[in-house]
Amino acid sequence: MKKISSLIIALVVIFSLTGCGEKKVTCTMNDGEAQSKIVTTFKGKEVTNIVMENTAKVDADEVDNAYLMYQATANTFKDQTGINVSASKGKESVTLKIEMQPSKMDESLLDSMDITTEDFKNTSVEDYVNDMTEQGYTCK
């Protein structure tokens, strides 16, 4: 039993040292017609990863058209480094998923989005949550 306790303590120490300062914040918004979920990973004050999923309800006969629009958006990013955009569809919904690793994104792409790598390097979790809450998101 003592060996098991020692192993558990060692694992806790290892995981807390290697994951030190890393925190995920999940923010959601739902207005009835659209749902948005953003999971942002921080390491200290640096945003290291962002996953956004936006799902919109559409009439069943409009799903294919909406999906084609989402797919066209996804295709504009297909050759970009540090960002992966995909589209999917359900019976009465379409979803656009964006996964970003800011440190790997090309400066010209960031410029086109009116942001810089510095925007991701000095953001506290508290400030981020406050900003998202002001925009109508619920964060935890």
User: CA 45, CA 86: separation in Å to the nearest integer?
Assistant: 28
Per the model's pLDDT, the better-predicted residue between 5 and 78 turns out to be: 78
User: Which structural domains are found in the chain, ordered by start?
Assistant: 21-139 (3.30.1830.10)
Per-residue pLDDT tens for 34-65?
A: 999 999 999 999 999 999 999 999 999 999 99
Query: Do the beta carbons of residue 83 and residue 74 sit within 8 Å?
Result: no
What does the pLDDT read at residue 20? 58
Per-residue pLDDT tens for 71-126?
A: 999 999 999 999 999 999 999 999 999 999 999 998 888 888 888 888 888 889 99
pTM: 0.81
Burial of 17 (0-12, 13-18, 19+ CB in 10 A): exposed
User: CA 54, CA 13: separation in Å to the nearest integer?
Assistant: 37
